[in-house]
Amino acid sequence: MAIVETKGLTYTYPIGTKPAFEDVSIEIQKGEFVILTGPSGCGKTTLCRCFNGLIPHFYNGEIKGEATVAGLRTTEHPIHELAQHVGLVFQDPENQLFSLSVEKDVGFGLENLGTAREEIRRKVDWALKITGTYELKDRAPYELSGGQQQRVAIASVLAMQPEVIVLDEPTSFLDPLGAKTIFEVISNLNKNLGITIILVEHRLDLAARYANRVIIMDKGKIVLNGDPRVVFSSDEAQTIGVGVPKVAMLFQFLKTHGVALSRVPLSSEEAAEAIREALAHD
Amino acid sequence: MIEVQDIYYTYQNGFEALKGVSLKIQKGQFIAVMGQNGAGKTTLVKHFNGLLKPTKGTVLVDGVDTRKVSIATLARKVGFVFQNPDRQLFCETVEDEIAFALKNFGYSDENIKKRVDWALNILDLVQYRKVSPFMLSGGERKRVALASVLAWDPEIIVLDEPTIGQDSQQKERLRQFIVQLNRQEKAVIIVTHDIEFVAEIKPRIVLMAQGKIIAEGEASEILTNAELANQSSLVVPEIAQIFKSLRDLGFDGNITDVYEGGKAILEKFGENR
């Protein structure tokens, strides 16, 4: 059974004149790492808000079709119940962190659920260790660098042990090294813990290699949905104006000029290998 | 155009953000100031329009010491677009927003109209003329902020993190736009973390760390230097990584963009045949 599923999902904001997205049907299986991308205003952030029930419970508006997460219809279950299955990490970690210490922030969700003290401690320590923020636990979130803050924000959703984590452009405000670390942390959650990841991103050069699937939205609709190597080498992806990874653009450039690499690379390592191989066989 | 002479800057809380920075910016130059958060990048560029005055040292804009002129006078020469457009926008419509500074500068109504139309046009905002900036998306608000600065035609334009929240088409538009400004002999300075953007358009790079400039030079030299990247929380761009690891095949390890990279590979295939 799919862990995240939407069927003919259409949503219009209360002040909107036309739907933010329309007729979206997707199925995401447990353990997938999905990148969701598309030009600004394509509806991807809005779609993410459906996964944890922010839409329709918080934003109201008009919703048609259905969204199911971990077997729960999001229209029928309250946000706090959905939050135990889906964690949402926002673009700007400052919007998510507010406590006096990192440890308190990470434990906040569990406290709200009335979790036993010992269990909170155990889960918080676990989440801090996995995200590499354990040594920061007594610090105030505002003292941390953007990259550290974002890792704490991830820890705070991880502590709830959700099956799905949705991240909405989590690296926009980070420097490249900070961004790289975040992608590695997310990838480890996916590989080692089997957590399903839905990552909304514009900058795909560092993220593409971790995904097993890419969904591209444009003007409120899903236009491409599949294997990253297929999606990024398609003509549509190039024309829609998503940040196709540079290594995939290089593949495309070579192909148009008569040099075929053995596969579409998703990282510089893969690209270098493919070029080396092609030259050796030439 | 801008001459920064050994400046130091200490914030009121005692944080020394700049520790002896010197830099010259010429007409028509395109410069990217890069480096880790807290390296002093934004502090440095805020000296260009007099928003900050150095604690020690001197900043000259067109030969004039920024301490000796008002921000209002400097603003005509140096346009500044903030990282967060919401710090800059406050009018009820996009059109009013763009006209605001022009009115302050005392331009005639006719001139204002001409300039507003031009700015709306060039940043693809015509359809939003009568719309409140706050109804627009983050990326669109950023374009409004840029339009309102360009409208008064400053000689030097400083853009703080212009690519955040912009998709690849908008980034391409921004790139073309900067090239156009450079052609008009305007200096464009961007503060950015967007390594892949910079790798494609190759401005001159000023790399900062801990309040100092640690390197300055062409993009192809600076971006491909792994040690410098590490010191400033950057990563070597993907295309550059490929060519660095293919050096043993005789490739130039300083290639940073797709087009040049592609050409180099095609040439290699040509030699083989």
Angle at A61 between CA A59 and CA A64, to 5 degrees: 120
Go through chain B and tell me how many residues it has: 273
Q: Which residues of A touch B235 (CB under 8 A)?
A: 176-177, 180, 206
Considering its fold, how many domains does chain B have in total?
2
Same domain, yes or no: A50 and A154:
no
Is A207 found in the same domain as A278? no
Residues B229 and B243 in one domain: no
Name the residue with tokens 């005509």: B76
A73, part of any domain: yes
Q: Quick check: is A239 in a domain?
A: no
Nearest by CB to residue B37, choosing from A175, A250, A276, is A175
Find all residues with CB under 8 Å of A98, minimum gap 6, and list them: A105, A141
Co-location of B26 and B103 in the same domain: yes
Over range A245-272, report the average pLDDT. Answer: 95
Does a structural domain hold residue A47? yes
- Tell me if A251 is assigned to some domain: yes
CB contact under 8 A, A250 and B262: yes
Give tens-digit pLDDT for A92-120.
787 777 788 999 999 998 988 889 999 99
Q: Which domain holds residue A127?
A: 96-161
- Of the candidates A78, A29, A82, the residue with the CA atom closest to the CA atom of residue A52: A82
**Can you give the residue range of the structural domain that contains B248?**
237-273
Nearest CA-CA distance, residue B59 and chain A, Å: 28
Spatial neighbors of B93 by CB under 8 A, at least 6 apart, are B129, B130, B131, B132, B133
Cα distance from B42 to chain A (closest Cα, Å)? 14
Co-location of A81 and A169 in the same domain? yes
Q: Of A183-197, B77-91, B139-153, which range is least confident?
A: B77-91
Extract the tokens encoding A22: 């329309």
pLDDT at residue B273 greater than cutoff 70: no
Which tops the pLDDT comparison, A92 or B57? Answer: B57
**Secondary structure class of A111 (helix, strand, coil):** helix
Are B248 and B150 in the same domain? Answer: no
Are B222 and B247 members of one domain? no
In a domain, A234, yes or no: no
Is the alpha carbon torsion for A252, A256, A257, A261 positive or negative?
positive
pLDDT digits (tens, 9 = 90+) for B243-272: 999 999 999 889 999 999 999 999 998 876
Choose among A177, A203, A269: nearest Cβ to B233.
A177
Mean pLDDT of A42-69: 91
**Does residue B224 share a domain with residue B248?**
no
My answer on whether B123 and B73 are in the same domain is: yes
The CATH number of the domain where B170 resides is what?
A: 3.40.50.300
pLDDT tens by residue, A182-224: 999 999 999 999 999 999 998 899 999 999 999 999 999 999 9
B237 interaction partners in chain A (CB closer than 8 Å)? 205, 246
Say if A114 falls within a structural domain. Answer: yes
Residue A171 has pLDDT above 90, yes or no: no
- Same domain for B119 and B34: yes
Statement to judge: residues A80 and A16 lie in one domain: yes
> Are A188 and A219 found together in one domain?
yes
Give B104→chain A minimum CA distance, Å. Answer: 33
B40 and B17 in a common domain:
yes
Instruction: Compare CB distances from B258 to A174, A175, A246 and report the shortest one's residue.
Output: A246
Which chain B residue has the Cα nearest residue A274? B242
Interface-testing mutation among A175, A273, A281, with chain B (most B C-beta atoms within 10 A): A175
B124 and B244 assigned to the same domain: no
A236 lies in some domain: no
Cβ atoms of A171 and B235 closer than 8 Å = no
Interface of A with B (CB under 8 A): 38-41, 145-146, 172-178, 180, 202-203, 205-206, 241-247, 249-250, 253-254, 257, 259, 267-269, 271-272, 275-276, 278-279, 282
Interatomic CA distance for residues A66 and A56, integer angstroms: 11
Question: B19-41, pLDDT tens digit by residue?
Answer: 999 999 999 999 999 998 788 99
- State residue A175's pLDDT score: 84
Q: What is the CA radius of gyration of chain B?
A: 20
What CATH code is carried by the domain that includes residue A11?
A: 3.40.50.300
Helix (H) or strand (E) holding A149: helix A146-158
Q: Which residues contact A35 (CB under 8 A, 6 or more apart)?
A: A199, A200, A201, A204, A207, A208, A211, A213, A214, A215, A228
Q: Are A87 and A160 in contact (CB under 8 A)?
A: yes
Which candidate from B237, B246, B265 shows the least CB-CB separation from A259?
B265
Same domain, B209 and B105: yes
Q: Are residues A61 and A183 in the same domain?
A: yes
Best of B128, B137, B166, B167 to substitute, by most chain A Cβ atoms within 10 angstroms, is B167
Cα–Cα distance for residue pair A159/A125, rounded to 1 Å: 9
Asked if residue B156 and residue B24 are part of one domain, the reply reads yes
The pTM assigned to this predicted structure is 0.87
Let me know whether B224 and B257 are in one domain: no
Q: What is the mean pLDDT of chain A?
A: 91
Same domain, A13 and A49: yes
- C-alpha B242: how far from its chain's center? 27
Confidence of residue B140 (pLDDT cuts 50, 70, 90): confident
Do A211 and A278 fall within a single domain? Answer: no
